[in-house]
Amino acid sequence: MGWATSAGKTVAKYGVRYGPHAVAAWKIAGPKVEAAARAKLDEVGARRTAFDHADSVAAGTVLRVVDAGHGIFVVFSGDEPVAAYPDGGRPLAELVARADLDKRVTPAEHRGRQLRNRLRRGRDQTESQGDAPQVER
């Protein structure tokens, strides 16, 4: 546990030195940062709910549309819109009236993209650390 003592000393040293600056910065930018983080978490939750719903309907797909600057995920069963997450208050037909329906994504495609991105991030991280062998792409 020798590292814990040195880590504690380092945290204390920098906390005393930069703590007041961090508090002042948080007072200025904190509410905006918190609101942005909350909005992103809400969007991620809405996307997850939409893909779960699309997984449970026949021929389910999801389309992301932007309404008043916010992303809304519309769930389709075949070619018919059935739900929107989060509920924007506008009718579904109005939300998708001018949308490109070819950009709809099935839950299986979404899971595949998530897996590819996760693998790519892991590979990029190991390559940046320098211990991974060089692989031709």
Long-range contacts (CB closer than 8 Å, 24 or more residues apart) made by 79-85: 82/53, 82/57, 83/50, 83/53, 85/46, 85/47, 85/49, 85/50, 85/53
CB atoms within 10 A of CB 110: 18
Average pLDDT across the chain, whole number: 84
Residues 7-34 have pLDDT tens digits of 777 877 777 787 788 788 888 888 898 9
Q: What is the three-class DSSP state of 74?
A: strand
pTM, 2 dp: 0.70
Question: Amino acid identity of 49?
Answer: T
Structural domain spans, the chain:
9-129
Proportion of the chain above pLDDT 70, given as a percent: 89
